[in-house]
Structure 1
Amino acid sequence: MTRYRKLPVEISAIQFTRDTFRAAVRFIPLDQFSEAGEDDQGLFLAIRTLEGVMRATEGDWIIQGVKGEYYPCKPDVFAATYEAVEEQDGQAVSTAGQPLVTRAVVYRELADLQDATAATEAIRRRRSNATVRRLLAIELRRMADNASRAAEGAGA
């Protein structure tokens, strides 16, 4: 079985609570909003998605995905998948202080790497996004491995 790592992306999100109820409802475009209120199961917000209507309950996060889609996410999954982003000197960084890698940064880095011939060639030829993503993922893993080895060497 092949293992995969999620590419770093930035999303917009709001946690659905009593205090953020109105803001969460306004966060979702009208064409994707289904209904909201409170029933015997508690506070809820229904969102039209490509998979059908999905129900967010109090505490869930409402996410705007990279393609503009909206969907609910359970708090434990959200916490395991995302971290807050801040701006620092014009660059997006995680709240842990680590610079975030954007696609534009990756393209610039790949263009500068002499041994990234396959990736830069794919970009130049405008191959399918899936091909470019695969090549970028391979190159990102190689870059991360090199950075880890360099950090280990500097710590020794």
Structure 2
Amino acid sequence: MPRFRKRPIVVEATRITEPMAIATPEGVMQARAGDWIITGIAGERYPCRHDIFVATYEPVDEEAVRALAADDPGTRRADDRENDSSRRLSGVALQICEDLEDECWGIRREVLDGVLDGDEALREIWRLLRSQMALVLDLLREAEQDAEGSV
């Protein structure tokens, strides 16, 4: 697959402390506290998460160095908690999807091998879906409780 490197361009960016809506060429996007609002070379504005911003951009002048150094620790702790929770939620959701896919392939093999007929396979898939959805709902409830507890 061909690989590409971003052209070295200079952009203006400001870190925000409050959530806000940003009009972008793709439509309105929501920015969270701690995100950076980047102004591109054509004057377009768009939000960028702090971790992605730091991994993608480097300061080009003293003002930018100071802006990065002025990181709000309160915002960082909230961002870190949210990112940890999001990573955990994403990891578990991915595992649920992978398990479900594996189970469905197993059912398909049983149909092809003549172990299950079509109706039995559908009932088994329905049972799997219900059980996996119950796991997802429990996971979402837990994440919601975590979010309420961190406010």
Taking structure 1 as the reference length, what is the TM-score of the superposition?
Answer: 0.39
Greater Rg by CA: 2
Structure holding more strand per residue: 1
Structure holding more helix per residue: 2
Taking structure 2 as the reference length, what is the TM-score of the superposition?
Answer: 0.40
